[in-house]
């Protein structure tokens, strides 16, 4: 910053910081929409910050009556989701052999609880292909 300039603008902030601020305003402003969808909100964030942001947003939205639909390709973001809470939903999007899009909810189950109890995270399960949503390339 130039000497003597004490003004910080959005131009001075990182892209990730702007995304976090946007998400916080979106979930707290009095005129925020009741439903919003954001694609790849976490793409400019450190994986641990993305996990924390998803956790925070899930809590904020739950208590605000909003619905927030987020897409991600960053596995650790999933670790911020408390799937045992029925208000928190995870959907996996796949492509069928014939080309159509298939959307399936990942429900919290005994198998998922056992996997978590053994130390596996949602991100690990997703990368391993256990949740779907990843191509079977090899």
Q: Which two tokens stand for residue 9?
A: 């603008």
Q: What is the CATH number of the domain that holds 99?
A: 3.40.50.300
Using the predicted structure, report yes or no on whether residue 113 has a pLDDT greater than 60: yes
Prediction pTM value: 0.84
Q: Tell me if 7 is assigned to some domain.
A: no
pLDDT tens profile 70-104: 999 899 999 999 999 999 999 999 888 898 999 99
> For residue 1, what pLDDT band results from cuts at 50, 70 and 90?
low
Q: Which two tokens stand for residue 73?
A: 């390709």
The per-residue pLDDT for 95 is 87
Q: Tell me if 65 is assigned to some domain.
A: yes
Q: Tell me if 4 is assigned to some domain.
A: no
> For residue 136, what pLDDT band results from cuts at 50, 70 and 90?
confident
- The total of other beta-carbon atoms located within 10 Å of residue 127's CB is 14
More confident residue, 9 or 28: 28
- Hey, which bits of the chain come out as E strands? 35-39, 67-71, 91-95, 101-105
Q: Tell me if 57 is assigned to some domain.
A: yes
Q: Are 38 and 23 in contact (CB under 8 A)?
A: yes
Q: Tell me if 138 is assigned to some domain.
A: no
């Amino acid at each position: 910053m130039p000497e003597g300039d004490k003004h910080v603008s959005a131009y001075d902030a990182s892209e990730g910081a702007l995304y976090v601020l946007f998400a916080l305003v979106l979930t707290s402003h009095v005129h925020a929409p009741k439903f919003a969808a954001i694609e790849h909100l976490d793409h400019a964030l450190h994986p641990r910050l993305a996990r924390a942001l998803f956790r925070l947003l899930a809590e904020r939205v739950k208590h605000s009556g909003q619905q927030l639909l987020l897409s991600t390709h960053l596995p650790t973001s999933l670790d911020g989701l408390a799937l045992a809470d029925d208000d928190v939903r995870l959907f996996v999007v796949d492509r069928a052999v014939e080309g159509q899009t298939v959307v399936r909810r990942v429900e919290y189950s005994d198998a998922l609880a056992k996997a978590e109890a053994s130390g596996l995270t949602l991100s690990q399960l997703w990368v391993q292909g256990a949740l779907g949503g990843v191509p079977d390339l090899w």
